[in-house]
Amino acid sequence: MVFPQPAGSITVVEMSEPTPEQVAGEEPSDKIVIYWEREYSTAIAPERLKLDFMPHRPLLSGMSLNEQRTVAVEGYKVIPDDCGPVRTVGQYGWLIRSPADCKIRRTADGIKWQAPPILPEERILGYKSFSGTYVDLILNSGYPKLCCGIRFYYPKQVGLMMKDVPNHFYHYPERTFFVWEGMKTQEYKRTPNMYDWLPDYDAFTANFLLQLTKPTTIKRGDPIGIVVPVLLPKHLTLEELKPRG
């Protein structure tokens, strides 16, 4: 279940020291703040997802029944683009882009790639991949991992889900890879939280595990995947609705 996102209740902001007002608790208590910072100077800032649709198309949801009948007679063809939930998911979450140009392909000997090294002066937090480049492998898995250089800090009441771009087959039909989806939770504590002023936060790095369909070329700035906040299972209960009597 995706965590509901009322206006102003969840914010992703760049990491910075808290102001005295924030320390004093003057921020609204119902706002969830997720912080981010660059691991590499080359990393591109996360941005609110805003997929392109066809805004010039009249939406049936905004028409009266007679208007719907009129456009139907005129040959109006409904497509998924007209669906409210499809449009909403195309505006939900934060987009992560590639920080470097990379070429990745699968061979009989395993995954091969061409990617620039992560230079010492680019490692703001001191982290580098095992390979030393922006492409790495999950140990002995044969699956490439793209290191995007963004570290998130999230509070204990939520997890952060890493997902493929929604409906990528529609928005990016020429794409030659998929993203393996996963969720970072409080139980996953491999990335240190180095900030005393975030005592109830955990950290993770937005590196994406890829599934190639063909030899793949990724350019700096290409959209890779998204990060969205989710409720943890321990905070959820699903019950059948039964009449009260």
Q: Is the pLDDT confidence value at 82 over 80?
A: no
- pLDDT tens across 183-204, in order? 887 665 667 788 999 988 988 8
Q: State which amino acid sits at residue 110.
A: G
**pTM of the predicted structure, to 2 decimals:** 0.81
**What percent of the chain stands above pLDDT 70?**
84
CA max distance for the chain? 69
For the chain, the structural domain boundaries read 10-51+90-235
Contact yes or no for 135/118 (Cβ under 8 A):
no
Q: Is the pLDDT confidence value at 103 over 90?
A: yes
Q: Is the pLDDT confidence value at 159 over 80?
A: yes
**What's the rounded mean pLDDT across residues 97-106?**
94
Q: Is the pLDDT confidence value at 146 over 70?
A: yes
- pLDDT tens across 7-28, in order? 446 677 777 665 444 444 445 5
Q: Is the pLDDT confidence value at 220 over 50?
A: yes
- The topology under which CATH files domain 10-51+90-235 is Deoxyuridine 5'-Triphosphate Nucleotidohydrolase; Chain A (2.70.40)
pLDDT confidence of residue 245: 72
Burial label, 83 (beta-carbon count in 10 A; 0-12, 13-18, 19+) = middle
Q: Is the pLDDT confidence value at 81 over 80?
A: no
pLDDT confidence of residue 20: 42
Q: Could you tell me the two tokens for 211? A: 């599934």
**What's the rounded mean pLDDT across residues 211-228?**
95
* Angle value at C-alpha 164, between 51 and 92, nearest 5 degrees: 45
